[in-house]
Each structure stands twice: as structure tokens, then as C-alpha cells.
């Protein structure tokens, strides 16, 4: 895990946060976490990111989105003042991880 001072995932619209890289079943993916000032700011960051995803699909059970950033799958969600998600995993693999991650966020 590493702390990124600004532009998490290299995205100019995102502030700093934490990024962890993992390998699972031969795939490399990233998990990210941004702590915004408040829930409203986190929601705005999520909608900014969603607007840059191709074929963004709303995930009602998570209050988030899944879509493609170029050829890379992105699963993102907001919980309170946090924007979090996974980059590089298909939706079916990212969903259980996102549920576990969301349960740990307070």
C-alpha cells in the first residue's frame, strides 16, 4: 500500500489517497481509498469518476458504478466521506471484495 499525495490512480480530478496493488489468480489489480472532507465531496468525486467511465452501470446494492476506463474495468463506490474501489478486476470478482471493504469503512 502506498500513500499518493495527489491524483490517485493518476487521475487529475482525484485528490490524494491510498492505493494498494494485489495479485489474484494471475491478475494484478489495485484497490484505492480517498477520504474526502465530507460525504457530499465524496459523492461528487464518484460522479466525476463515473462520468469518465465508458458504459458505466449503476450498482444499486453498493450505491456505486462499474465501467471501463479505456480497456481497464473499474468498480467504485462511496461510503460516507470515502470514495473507494477496485481497478483491474471484472465486476463479479470486484463485487465481493468491495462488499468486504465497505463493511470495514466507518
Please state the rounded mean pLDDT for residues 22-28. 87
Of 40, 33, 35, whose CA–CA distance to 1 is shortest? 33
- Single pTM value for the model: 0.93
What's the longest Cα–Cα distance across the chain?
37
Q: E strands within 25-105?
A: 27-35, 54-59, 64-69, 72-79, 82-87
d(CA 103, CA 37): 20
Please state the rounded mean pLDDT for residues 16-26. 92
CB distance 77 to 98 below 8 Å: yes
Cβ partners under 8 Å of residue 100, min gap 6? none
Residue 67's pLDDT band (cuts 50, 70, 90) = very high
CB distance 80 to 105 below 8 Å: yes
Residue 58 has pLDDT above 80, yes or no: yes
Amino acid at each position: 500500500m502506498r500513500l499518493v499525495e495527489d491524483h490517485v490512480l493518476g487521475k487529475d480530478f482525484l485528490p490524494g489517497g491510498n492505493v494498494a496493488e494485489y495479485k489474484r489468480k494471475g491478475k494484478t489489480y489495485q484497490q484505492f481509498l480517498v477520504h474526502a472532507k465530507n460525504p457530499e465531496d465524496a459523492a461528487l468525486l464518484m460522479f466525476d469518476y463515473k462520468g469518465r467511465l465508458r458504459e458505466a452501470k449503476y450498482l444499486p446494492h453498493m450505491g456505486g458504478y462499474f465501467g471501463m476506463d479505456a480497456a481497464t474495468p473499474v468498480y467504485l463506490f462511496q461510503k460516507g466521506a470515502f470514495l473507494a474501489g477496485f481497478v483491474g478486476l471484472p465486476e463479479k470478482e470486484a463485487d465481493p471484495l468491495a462488499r468486504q471493504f465497505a463493511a470495514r469503512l466507518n
